[in-house]
Structure formats: C-alpha cells, structure tokens
Amino acid sequence: MPFAFKPTKDIPDLTGKVILVTGGKHQILASGRSNAHIPLLGTAGIGKEAILEYARHKPSKIFFTGRDAARGASVEQETNSIARFVACDMTSLASVQTAAHTILAETERLDIMVFNAGIMNVPPALTKEGYEVHFGVNHVAHALLFKLLLPVLLRTAELPDGEVRIASLSSLGYGMHPSGGILYKKIRTTLGSGLVSHQRYGQSKLANIYLAMEIARRYPQFTAVSVHPGVVQTDLLANLSWTVRTMAWLSVGGKYLTPAEGAYNMLWATTVDKSKLEDGEFYVPVGVKEKRMREGSNAKAAEKLWEWTDEELKPFN
C-alpha cells in the first residue's frame, strides 16, 4: 500500500517539543489466570516505531510508558536518550497515577500526547480496579492519564509556540461494539459470558473515538483526533480468532502493514499542519477522514462516557 506521507521529509522540525507515547506490556491475571504476556506496543511495534521517528526530528524529550524496563532501556539507547522510559502498568490506575506524577515532575510542557497503548481480543479478565480489561486498559487508563496531565497541557497551549496535539488510537474494529454502544452496567464484569472478545475490543475502541471527540469539544485550545493505524503485522494479530484474522487479511488484500507503516497515521495526525485536521474527527491511513459507522458519531453518547468516566476517576484526582 503506497503512502503519500513520508515521515522523513513530511514531519517538521520538532525542536523544543515534548512528546508522550503510551504503551508497554502487561500480564493478564484474572478469570482463567492466563499467563500470556500481551504486548501494548509502546516499547515494541508501532509505538516504538513512532518514538524512533519522532526522535529523528529532534524534540526536546519523548516520554514513553511501559512495563518492560529492558526494552525501555533499549529504546532510550536507540534515541540517544531523547526518549525517557516511564514505568507504567495500564491495568492499574495507581500505576498510571504514579507515571503521571513522574512526568509532571520532569517537564513544564507537553506538546504531543499519543494514546497508543492497547490490547485486543484477550481472554476475559478484569483490571486491578475491576474494569473489563479491554475497557480498563484502552479507555479508562488513558482518560486518567489525560486528566492528571491536563495542567501541563493547558500551560503548553498558552505558550507563544504552544500547539497541543492529541491522537487517540482507535480502530475500524470499533464497529464491532455491542448493540447500544457502551454497556455501562457490565463494565465491572469480564463480559465473558455475554460478549465474544472482538465485541469487548470494539466497545473499548468506540470509547477511544469518544474520548477524542470530547477532548476536542471541551478543550478547543487543543487539537484532538482519533486514528486507525491500519492492519499491522504485530503480536496483537496473534490474539485474533482465525475467522477475524482471515477477515482482516482479506480486507487488506493479503498484505499487512509493517510496524513502521502502522505508525504513519499517528505521526501524521500529531505533526501535520493544523489546517489539514478537523478537530474530533476519525482518520484512517494516512490522513483520510473516515465516515463513522453505527454509534461512532454519537455526540450524546460521547458526552455520557466522559461524565461517567469523570465520576469513576474521582478517587484518583
């Protein structure tokens, strides 16, 4: 799949910018007590590729989250310490809180924030605070991180050179969400008996779209969009059922994107001239605004999710 976007020449100089890319690796230990390590693509996959590409354009600092300190150290080395690893377990809001405090203590600005961490089609499980694991990792943890880092984002937007960009990684898989959208009454269950894994995943990816929509609406001084990276050849594909994997393979004509190509859309969204973005919209690779299906454009549902999440996160203020 040819792309007009060429990161090497199309990403502008990022001197002075501070960037955050979420990611990592976590271990599911809930119903079924799976011991499988599920990659979240911050120290690997498209997250790592995005970090390496940002680093080539000389930002002041790139914070990136994860659980694998060894991989984190490797990425730091590859970027000549432009990148700074911050330990964070996205299944634990207490860990997210600690990571946010670490970042706040080390920077006075934050120009680019990429909600990249994510899991897909993992076994039924709960996060440490009791949320269905896809929803807890893909949505709730990122919402808390945004909430805690909001003061530095606001300060950055007020700077003479301040232009805050936020990219929320969703997926066309959001269209597999359950009937009605977000199942609030069941969020604190594994949903294992009622939904197949791709529906649990779809619900969380719908939430990723809603989060960007509401940030855009509530904070016009930022530019926030949601992006689909494409169907990328990463470890996440191993978690798909044979049927869903076959459908994904057919949808891209039998050719998956490389991790480097999978990073293009988030790189584009966070560095392209602002005039080429529509705040709160959803983009597919690269830089193509997508018409949203099913509940994807439901503004009232997005507002409801924001208000529900805000109540849930009050203990972590």
Question: What per-residue confidence (pLDDT) applies to 31?
Answer: 38
Instruction: Provide the angle, in degrees to the nearest 10, between the axes of the packed helices 45-55 and 69-78.
Output: 30
Q: Which domains does the chain have, with CATH numbers?
A: 13-316 (3.40.50.720)
Q: Report which residue type is found at 130.
A: G
Q: pLDDT tens, 89-136?
A: 999 999 999 999 999 999 999 999 999 999 998 999 999 999 999 999
Query: How many whole angstroms from its chain centre is CA 123?
Result: 20
Question: What per-residue confidence (pLDDT) applies to 2?
Answer: 58
Token code pair at residue 253: 């004509």
Question: What per-residue confidence (pLDDT) applies to 3?
Answer: 80
- Helix, strand, or coil (residue 164): strand
Question: What per-residue confidence (pLDDT) applies to 193?
Answer: 76
pLDDT in tens, the chain (317 residues): 558 999 999 999 999 999 999 995 544 433 333 333 334 444 458 999 999 999 999 999 999 999 999 999 999 999 999 999 999 999 999 999 999 999 999 999 999 999 999 999 899 999 999 999 999 999 999 999 999 999 999 999 999 999 999 999 999 999 999 999 999 999 999 998 778 888 999 999 999 999 999 999 999 999 999 999 998 755 545 555 544 544 444 444 446 799 999 999 999 999 999 999 999 999 999 999 999 999 999 999 999 999 999 999 999 98
Instruction: Provide the angle, in degrees to the nearest 10, between the axes of the packed helices 141-158 and 197-218.
Output: 20
Question: What per-residue confidence (pLDDT) applies to 194?
Answer: 75
Task: Give phi and psi for 164, each to the nearest 5.
Answer: -85, 130
Residue ranges of alpha helices (H) inside the chain are 7-10, 45-55, 69-78, 93-106, 133-135, 141-158, 197-218, 242-251, 259-262, 264-271, 299-312
* Nearest to 315, CA basis, from 147, 102, 99, 153: 147
Question: What per-residue confidence (pLDDT) applies to 255?
Answer: 61
Model pTM? 0.90
- Distance between CA atoms of residues 11 and 19, nearest Å: 14
Query: Do residues 225 and 292 make contact, with C-beta atoms less than 8 angstroms apart?
Result: no
Q: Which H or E element spans position 225?
A: strand 222-227
Question: What per-residue confidence (pLDDT) applies to 65?
Answer: 98
Token code pair at residue 104: 């706040």
Token code pair at residue 129: 């605070």
Query: How many whole angstroms from its chain centre is CA 253?
Result: 26
Question: What per-residue confidence (pLDDT) applies to 231?
Answer: 86
